[in-house]
Amino acid sequence: MEQKRHKRKEIFSVLMVSNTGKSIKKYRVSKSSIRLIAVFLFLLCAIAAGLSCWAVYVLGNQEALHKQIASGEQQALQLKEENERLGSEMTRLTQELEILRSNETQMAESGEAAGETEQEAEGSYPNRFPSSGVALVISPYSPDQPYMSFGMQVDDSIIATEDGTVTAISSDDTYSYIIEIEHENGYETRYMCNQEAQLNVQEGDQVLSGEALITVTLENTQLDYQVLLEGEPIDPINIIDAKG
């Protein structure tokens, strides 16, 4: 019978010599041990590589997080500054609104005072139309005819064109009634009616603007209306246009 040959293990020797050469150590390592060491080193390198990648990933995330935090802080600062600016703007607008309200109140008060003054001033002008109804202008004022002539309608009234005092009531060959009224500020008015009519006032009466002086009762009644300022006749239409 043939003898079986035994397979011998392959063994490697590792010599470790000191730098002085005085000591030498010899280690014997089998092939399987070398393989195991190689596998261990490979795993160790793989773990190290994985840890390195994880560290890079974590550091990257931390840097991105820091950037986000810094950006958030910057936005918060900007929002704070914007809020302060809006607060200042609101305060300024509130102050302006208060000033506008104050000015509006002052203007309203001034307008009321001006309106009262204007009403008082208007009260000193004979500014009304001398008829209670529609009267036809027959002839206008002129230097040759210092009064206006109106054609009156039956049942209409000749009225006072402003508050005043009846200073005279008379007549002549042309007019059945001549009524003179004295007003403030040097104004005087005359109402000259050429027909018989109903007389509603007497000398010395205090009359109000628009009060009926004469009620027309006949057709073809004509009113000659005259306005005098400091004794001088003026065109009534200017007073009526300006104030009536």
pLDDT of residue 242: 47
Distances (CA, A) of 176 to 73, 143, 220: 100, 24, 13
Instruction: Judge whether 158 and 131 are in contact, CB under 8 Å.
Output: yes
- The rounded mean pLDDT for the chain is 84
Both structure tokens of 76: 């918060």
Q: What is the pLDDT of residues 198-225, one digit of tens each?
A: 999 999 999 999 999 999 999 999 999 9
Instruction: Judge whether 161 and 211 are in contact, CB under 8 Å.
Output: no
pLDDT of residue 210: 93
Q: What is the mean pLDDT of residues 154-166?
A: 95
Q: Measured between alpha carbons, how far is 197 from 219 in angstroms, rounded to an integer?
A: 10
Please give the share of the chain, as a percent, with pLDDT higher than 70. 82
Q: Measured between alpha carbons, how far is 183 from 170 in angstroms, rounded to an integer?
A: 18
Instruction: Judge whether 187 and 124 are in contact, CB under 8 Å.
Output: yes
192 phi, psi to nearest 5 deg: -110, 110
Q: What is the mean pLDDT of residues 149-161?
A: 95
The closest alpha carbon to 136, from 201, 219, 233, belongs to 219
Q: Measured between alpha carbons, how far is 32 from 9 in angstroms, rounded to an integer?
A: 10
The closest alpha carbon to 223, from 200, 192, 179, 186, belongs to 192
Both structure tokens of 112: 């009321």
Bridge pairing between strands 177-182 and 187-193: antiparallel
Q: Which fold, 136-243? A: Glucose Permease (Domain IIA) (2.70.70)
Q: What is the pLDDT of residues 26-43, one digit of tens each?
A: 667 676 777 787 888 888
Q: What is the mean pLDDT of residues 128-138?
A: 92
Kindly state the helix (H) or strand (E) to which residue 230 belongs, with its residue range. Answer: none
Q: Measured between alpha carbons, how far is 33 from 29 in angstroms, rounded to an integer?
A: 6
Q: What is the pLDDT of residues 75-108, one digit of tens each?
A: 888 888 888 888 888 888 888 888 888 887 777 7
